[in-house]
Amino acid sequence: MSHWLTKPSIDWLAVFLPVAIGLEIAHAAFHAPWATPTLIFIASCLAIIPVAGWMGHATEHLAARLGEGVGGLLNATFGNAAELIIALMALIEGARHPEKTAAMHNIVKASLTGSIIGNVLLVLGLALLAGGIRFSILKFNVTAARLGSTLLRLSVVALLVPALFGFLVSPADDGAADISFEIAIALLVVYALSLLFSLRTHQHLYAGDAHPEPDGRPDHAVHATWSLKRALGTLLGATVLIAIVAEILVGSVEAASRAIGLSELFVGVIVVAIVGNAAEHSTAILVALRNRMDLSLSIAIGSSIQIALFVAPAVVLISYALGTPMNLIFTLPEVVAIAIAVSIMGQIAGDGESHWLEGVLLLTVYLFLGFLFFHLPG
């Protein structure tokens, strides 16, 4: 029998892939009373976990072949595909049903908020905690980490400017959409320049240094045994599966949240974001356990940068193409949550080393923000 059938593994959860799809078909096509939105939501969450693990293994092999910077970028890109697809689906739904446009835009913004704070607090916090338990000190390139913090601070400014305009004038004013469009263009340019910096002019900062294992072995004990074609094929296939399951999950969120008794705001910012970032969760922790913190930070911080500087502005431009312009005016709790997350992450990532207690601090801040969104009315 194959390895994954004979030993405990998260791959066992792959059984929930056909279960989630079957429940969705039974609910949508046959209106089966037993195929409830709550069951569909739970099955979808469980189904994403093993697929994220496959994505993590593929990314690790790619990083061994192409370098930590490229590996982290690929993981962030493929890991954020689900968020981008979810946002596109919501925008299309709003364009088809004008009465739902405002609600769909709010869902998109909530998912973006959850992705940013989830990566810099939850993903990075778990990675530092896991790696710090095994290694007393976790070292990483301080220049790359500080640049990531600065780029995220830029995203906070990009959210504050439209929010300030909405406060001084009105969120419904045409200027809100115009200023959001202009900021979106600027963010995309900055993101393109950041790729030029990390992949071309200063790629040595993201190469990763070898640190010893506790037993004295080098941390790069995992070599690229997969071919480039296999690793890229696995990444692509996992992305497609995550997109399919994410579509099922999003379709069940509204009804499931009512049945469970959670607000849609909490489900969107916390629950859906955690599931959508499952790829980053697994890979960042996996490589942190091997003391490969440059790759771990590249995944966690890089994913938030990509959400803030690429996905968010891209969604704004797409909304214009669909005829339903979306602005970048986030709610006060969302802006404050992102600002807090970026601020504390910058403090921790600014000295080039960390340990398990700083991971606990990041997780505690995420817990506090979870309390906030849990008790806010939907």
Give 15's pLDDT tier (boundaries 50, 70, 90).
very high
For residue 130, give the nearest of 272, 292, 8 by alpha carbon. Answer: 292
Mean pLDDT of 167-174: 76
Give 264's pLDDT tier (boundaries 50, 70, 90).
confident
**Contact present, 331 and 105 (Cβ < 8 Å):** no
Residue 354's DSSP bridge partners are 138
**Contact present, 87 and 112 (Cβ < 8 Å):** yes
Q: Residue 221: its pLDDT value, please?
A: 46
Q: Residue 1: its pLDDT value, please?
A: 43
Q: What is the tens place of the pLDDT at every residue in 78-121?
A: 767 767 877 887 788 788 888 878 878 888 888 889 989 999 99
For residue 11, give the nearest of 60, 59, 54 by alpha carbon. Answer: 54
Give 66's pLDDT tier (boundaries 50, 70, 90).
confident
Query: What is the three-class DSSP state of 218?
Result: strand
The Cα–Cα gap between 210 and 292 comes to: 8
The helix or strand, by DSSP H or E, that contains position 279, with its residue range, turns out to be helix 278-288
Q: What is the tens place of the pLDDT at every residue in 316-360?
A: 999 999 888 898 888 889 999 999 999 999 888 888 889 999 999
Q: Residue 365: its pLDDT value, please?
A: 95
- Sign (positive/negative) of CA torsion 83, 85, 87, 90? negative
Q: Residue 220: its pLDDT value, please?
A: 47
- Show me where the domains of the chain are located: 3-375
**Contact present, 275 and 83 (Cβ < 8 Å):** no
**Contact present, 245 and 48 (Cβ < 8 Å):** yes
pTM of the model: 0.81
17 vs 228 pLDDT, higher one:
17
Please name the residues in contact with 353: beta carbons below 8 A apart, sequence gap of 6 or more: 137, 138, 139, 140
